[in-house]
Structure 1
């Protein structure tokens, strides 16, 4: 299981709301920085969103975007922890989960990559909370 402890945590969305805020230096001072999916930290975004990423929460739909730039996301020197979530049909571990298979290949190519997937039980819990909060099935 993944265990992290952070004194001060910054959670940076990927919605573009941070653009123009120049909060990068403040974000980078946090002991842990969480980002979503493949939100960029390079290419001119550093001033607004910071440079560091300690943990990246990744939707099953965004995994192919990470796989397109594996050296950037999983390459040597990248200490980011990836937590990937998705429905069982994509995350199943019996060889039929297309996203899980992509992640296995990434770990084979980048053995130092720190990639975790949510359990089926945790996904069921998250689906229940989502439905309770929104009234919608995911």
Structure 2
């Protein structure tokens, strides 16, 4: 299980609304900085900062991240990755396409910290989403 304790977090969206805001330095002062999917920081540091503590990644964004594995999993990167997705993609029995991609990435970048959500946690998140929005994902 992932154990991460922060006194303050900045959650940085991948939205273009961040551009032009000049909040990078303020974001980087946070002890923990969460980012979403494959949103880049390089070239946008003035607006979004450069530090990343935790990156939450949808199963659909894993291929995008794996297009630039050195950028996301390189030696100087101490980011923790939490990947979520439906069981059909995250199966650990050899049939989970996304899980298999992540397994290869972890083999190629042994220092990478990659976590995947459990089926129970995904079911819980799906239930919360439906309760909040009235829609199934």
Measured against the shorter chain, the TM-score band is: over 0.9
Runs of 4+ in 1 over 6 A off after TM superposition: none
Unaligned 5+ segments in structure 1 are none
Q: CA shift at 1:17, angstroms?
A: 1.2
> How many equivalent pairs are there?
137
Unaligned 5+ segments in structure 2 are none
- What residue number does 1:99 align with? 98
Q: TM-score, normalised by structure 2?
A: 0.98
Matches within 5 A, 1:1-138: 1-43=1-43, 45-138=44-137
Q: CA shift at 1:136, angstroms?
A: 1.1
- SS at 2:71's partner residue? helix
Q: Distance in 2 between matches of 1:9 and 1:124?
A: 25
Q: CA shift at 1:52, angstroms?
A: 0.3
Q: CA deviation digits over 1:40-61, x for unaligned, max 9?
A: 1102x00000010010000000
Q: CA deviation digits over 1:23-50, x for unaligned, max 9?
A: 000000000000000111102x000000
Q: Distance in 2 between matches of 1:128 and 1:9?
A: 25
- SS at 1:17's partner residue? helix
Q: TM-score, normalised by structure 1?
A: 0.98
- SS at 1:64's partner residue? helix
Cα RMSD (Å): 0.5
Q: CA shift at 1:134, angstroms?
A: 1.1
